[in-house]
């Protein structure tokens, strides 16, 4: 072969090798180490692509074109934000995949991650299983000691796994749950999202993360996120970092006034448990710590969470969270962007004004107010989660899991959770010499009354279909307490329902006994903040008109302890049912004695609101019902 031909041959080989190398993208090779994939992708990314990864927008303003044009890294459903009324699994999957196609059509094809609140089941989706809120799950234990040794974390683990399946059935891979706040004042409207006033209970209940994400491998490095994608798990989010449950007088988004020892001793421990379990993301709280907004707190986010606790997932803001850095909100958005990103936030829940956020962040980087090293840290963390959860290999969803939404197995689990979350607070003897509870199934005629007896919306509470919840029975499918009672009693027993009867109706009805089901109207944060914690009207009148006439059991459907002392003497039995969700049979299972009462208070029940805040271990501790209290009964 001549010299010219030989050189030509070598040139062809070199060009072929170069072409092959350009076609090979290391970051798309699942056999490559995680670090190598992240490094390879990072070096290919432009600034615009990096900023896009840090941007999370609301589905209502999103489209495949917007995702493609701005390289959007994440989309969310805010409270009540759905593809349409009573959307099916197919509706959700098609919507999510549409956005995903926009992400995959970008130059680098980085998949977006879709997130949604799933705080007591897949709570935004019609027909999903709605589990008891955390305030109820925190009482599912057998031991009344301050040092809790016999909680039921396996139950919440199973609830996490069931929730993950129903979320994945709609094509969504990421949930903004669990809330691991330690609520120290029930006046806070998010108190029902907290497992307990005692951090040791909250710590144990972080086992729900294992249910959502899967069992972390034994050889995993501390703080590295883990999601078992092949077993239909989802990325979880521990929230709201940190101290959100300790705000002054329970006012939402307010100031948590506590020294460093108190913050780290009460509000921080559950985050360490979450990180050890491989939680993928951490959401920052709207609240402040001693006057410093958490969304701008570099010490607690960068130095503590990312530094001392070695968290390696990504840190996300709350909904318009960075806007709240200033007062009034959004008063100086450029300042808010600068403070939050420099504090250590990686992904910003914008959620609507993405043009303003992207432009503002781009400008701050150009002015060197935010360093490229800070941007690279944020993007690496986001990519780490996406790679770890298998999103690059499996970016598109299908409807193969659609049958899991509201399936019987999950409803049975929720029914069990309701049973275990009930706390019996009072159970007097009645004329026959027996205790009021359990109730006899065989009776001539029984009366069921109250605003919450036949109202699924009231039974589920806030964060159910809509952000603030919905009263009534049209919101989703489930079983009300009234329906459960009718199914539980003997076929010859007549069940009469009157939502708000007068005293004469009760007196002259010839009833064997009455079941009074009252409580709070649905609410979520801010709207649910309450300084008086009274029962919603006409609850007090219903108790008076019923329990003052015949033997009655009062079942409270509330998101927290409420003022009950003035009415306590008139009732023969009192049950705290919290917010049980869609499976009302769990209540009837226990009040009729098929199962015994086992729940113990995970919150102190006060006498008057003048005592608040009051928590177990306080110097002046004089509760109506103490932490750990709960009368146990056996099944009959």
Concatenated DSSP letters for 356-397?
A: HHHHHHHHHHHTTSS-HHHHHHHHHHHHHHHHHTTTTT----
CATH number of the domain enclosing 221? 3.20.20.300
Does one domain contain both 232 and 306?
yes
pLDDT digit string (tens) for 165-183? 999 999 999 999 999 999 9
Are 232 and 279 in a shared domain?
Answer: yes
CA distance 612 to 10: 83
Integer Cα distance of 238 and 51 in angstroms = 24
Shared domain check, 525 and 382: no
328 and 428 share a domain? no
Chain centre distance of CA 517: 26
Parallel, antiparallel, or unpaired for β 113-116 and 55-58? unpaired
Q: Which of 481, 427, 477 is nearest to 449 (CA)?
A: 481
The answer to whether 206 and 270 have CB atoms below 8 angstroms apart is yes
Do 456 and 579 fall within a single domain? yes
Query: Quick one: 392 and 459 in the same domain?
Result: no
Pick from 267, 282, 310: which residue ends a domain? 310
Clarify whether residues 476 and 533 are in a common domain. yes
- Which residue intervals of 241-332 are DSSP H helices? 260-262, 269-276, 298
CA distance to 27, 61, 426, per residue, from 24 (Å)? 9, 35, 70
Q: Say if 156 falls within a structural domain.
A: no
Work out whether strand 288-289 and strand 255-256 pair parallel, antiparallel, or are unpaired.
parallel
Name the stretches of the chain with pLDDT < 70: 1-22, 142-152
Torsions phi, psi for 587 (to 5 deg): -75, -50
What CATH number should be reported for the domain holding residue 580? 3.40.50.1700
CA 252/CA 355 separation, integer angstroms: 29
Q: Residue 541 in 3-state DSSP?
A: helix
Interior angle at CA 370, CA 366 and CA 375, nearest 5: 100
Q: Which alpha helices (DSSP H) does 129-198 contain, by range?
A: 134-137, 153-169
Q: Strand pairing of 237-241 and 113-116?
A: unpaired
State how far the Cα of 51 lies from the Cα of 53, in Å rounded to an integer: 5
Q: Provide the domain limits for residue 380.
A: 48-116+317-396
- At which of 396, 423, 448 does a domain end? 396
* Residue-wise pLDDT tens digits, 140-173: 974 434 444 455 689 999 999 999 999 999 999 9
CB atoms within 10 A of CB 431: 6
Question: Residue 165: inside a domain, yes or no?
Answer: no
Q: Helix 333-343 and helix 372-388: axis angle, to 10°?
A: 70
CA 119/CA 125 separation, integer angstroms: 12
162 within domain boundaries? no
Contacts of 90 (CB under 8 A, 6+ apart): 399, 402
Strands, sheet with 552-557, edge to edge from the N-terminal-most edge strand? 423-427, 573-576, 552-557, 513-519, 445-449, 494-498
DSSP code per residue over 318-330:
-TTTGGGGSSSTT
Q: Are the CB atoms for 187 and 609 separated by under 8 Å?
A: yes
Q: 128, 96, 179: which is closest to 399 by C-alpha?
A: 96
Domain total in the chain: 3
If asked whether residues 541 and 421 sit together in one domain, one would say: yes
Question: Is the residue at 138 inside a domain?
Answer: no
The reported pLDDT for the residue numbered 433 is: 84
498 phi/psi in degrees, rounded to 5: -140, 115
Is 594 within 8 Å of 551 (Cβ atoms)?
no
Q: Which are the catalytic amino acids? A: 318, 525
Pairing of strands 423-427, 573-576: antiparallel
Are residues 264 and 341 both part of a single domain? no
> CB neighbours of 434 closer than 8 A, spacing ≥ 6?
none
Residue 74, domain member (yes or no): yes
In whole angstroms, what is the distance from residue 494 CA to residue 486 CA?
Answer: 9
Residues 331 and 277 in one domain: no
Q: Is residue 18 part of a domain?
A: no
Pick the last residue of a domain from 310, 330, 365.
Answer: 310
The Cα–Cα gap between 461 and 27 comes to: 44
How far apart are alpha carbons 336 and 329 in whole angstroms?
Answer: 9
Q: What is the dihedral of CA 630, 189, 480, 482, to 10 degrees?
A: 60
* H, E, C per residue of 543-589: HHHHHCCCCEEEEEECCCCCCCHHHHCCCCEEEECCCCCCECHHHHH
Q: Kindly state whether residues 421 and 372 are assigned to the same domain.
A: no
Q: How many CA atoms lie within 13 A of 557 on its CB side?
A: 35
Within-domain flag for 604: yes
Sheet holding 113-116, edge to edge: 174-175, 113-116, 74-77, 55-58, 348-349
Q: Is residue 182 part of a domain?
A: yes
Is residue 179 domain-shared with residue 74, that is, in the same domain? no
pTM to 2 decimals? 0.95
């Amino acid at each position: 072969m001549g010299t010219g031909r030989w050189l030509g041959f070598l040139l062809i080989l070199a060009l072929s090798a170069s072409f092959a190398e350009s076609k090979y993208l290391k970051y798309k090779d699942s056999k490559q180490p995680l670090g190598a994939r992240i490094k390879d992708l990072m070096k290919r990314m432009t600034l615009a692509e990096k900023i896009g990864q840090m941007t999370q927008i609301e589905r209502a303003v999103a489209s495949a074109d917007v995702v493609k044009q701005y390289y959007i890294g994440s989309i969310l459903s805010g409270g009540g934000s759905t593809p349409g009324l009573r959307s099916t699994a197919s509706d959700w999957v098609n919507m999510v995949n549409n956005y995903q196609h926009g992400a995959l059509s970008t130059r680098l094809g980085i998949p977006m991650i879709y997130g949604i609140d799933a705080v007591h089941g897949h709570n935004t989706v019609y027909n999903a299983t709605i589990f008891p809120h955390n305030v109820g799950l925190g009482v599912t234990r057998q031991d009344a000691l301050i040092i809790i040794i016999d909680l039921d974390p396996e139950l919440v683990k199973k609830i996490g796994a069931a929730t993950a399946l129903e979320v994945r059935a709609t094509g969504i891979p990421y949930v903004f749950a669990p809330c691991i706040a330690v609520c120290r004042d029930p006046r806070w409207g998010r108190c029902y999202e907290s497992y307990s006033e005692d951090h040791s209970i909250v710590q144990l209940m972080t086992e729900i993360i294992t249910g959502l994400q899967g069992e972390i491998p034994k050889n995993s490095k501390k703080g590295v996120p883990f999601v078992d994608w092949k077993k239909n798990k989802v990325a979880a989010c521990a929230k709201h970092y940190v101290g959100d449950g300790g705000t002054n007088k329970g006012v939402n988004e307010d100031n948590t006034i506590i020294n460093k020892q108190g913050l780290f001793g009460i509000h921080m421990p559950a985050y360490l448990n979450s990180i050890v379990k491989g939680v993928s993301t951490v959401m920052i709280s709207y609240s402040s710590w001693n006057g410093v907004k958490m969304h701008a707190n570099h010490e607690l986010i960068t130095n503590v969470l990312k530094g001392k606790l070695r968290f390696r997932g990504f840190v996300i803001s709350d909904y318009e969270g960075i806007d709240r850095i200033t007062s009034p909100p959004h008063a100086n958005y450029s300042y808010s962007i600068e403070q939050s990103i420099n504090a250590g936030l990686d992904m910003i829940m914008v959620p609507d004004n993405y043009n303003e956020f992207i432009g503002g962040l781009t400008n701050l980087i150009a002015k060197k107010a935010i360093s490229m090293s800070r941007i690279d840290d944020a993007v690496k963390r986001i990519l780490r989660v996406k790679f770890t959860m298998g999103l690059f290999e499996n970016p598109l969803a299908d409807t193969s899991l659609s049958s899991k939404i509201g399936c019987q197995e999950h409803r049975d689990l929720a029914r069990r959770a309701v049973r275990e979350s009930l706390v019996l607070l009072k159970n007097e003897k009645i004329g026959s010499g027996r205790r009021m509870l359990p109730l006899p199934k065989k009776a001539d005629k029984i009366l069921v009354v109250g605003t919450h007896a036949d109202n699924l919306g009231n039974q589920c509470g806030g964060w159910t279909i809509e952000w603030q919840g919905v009263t009534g029975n049209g919101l989703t499918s489930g079983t009300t307490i009234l329906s459960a009672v009718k199914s539980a009693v003997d076929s010859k027993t007549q069940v009469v329902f009157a939502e708000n009867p007068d005293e004469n109706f009760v007196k002259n009805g010839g009833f064997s006994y009455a079941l009074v089901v009252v409580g709070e109207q649905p609410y979520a944060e801010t709207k649910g903040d309450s300084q008086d914690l009274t029962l919603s009207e006409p609850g007090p009148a219903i108790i008076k008109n019923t329990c003052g006439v015949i033997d009655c059991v009062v079942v409270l459907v509330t998101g927290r302890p409420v003022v009950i002392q003035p009415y306590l003497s008139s009732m023969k039995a009192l049950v705290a049912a919290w917010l049980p969700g869609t499976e009302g049979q769990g209540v009837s299972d226990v009040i009729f004695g098929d199962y015994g009462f086992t729940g113990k208070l995970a919150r102190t029940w006060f006498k008057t609101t003048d005592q608040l805040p009051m928590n177990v271990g306080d110097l002046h501790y004089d509760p109506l019902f103490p932490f750990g209290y709960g009368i146990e009964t056996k099944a009959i």
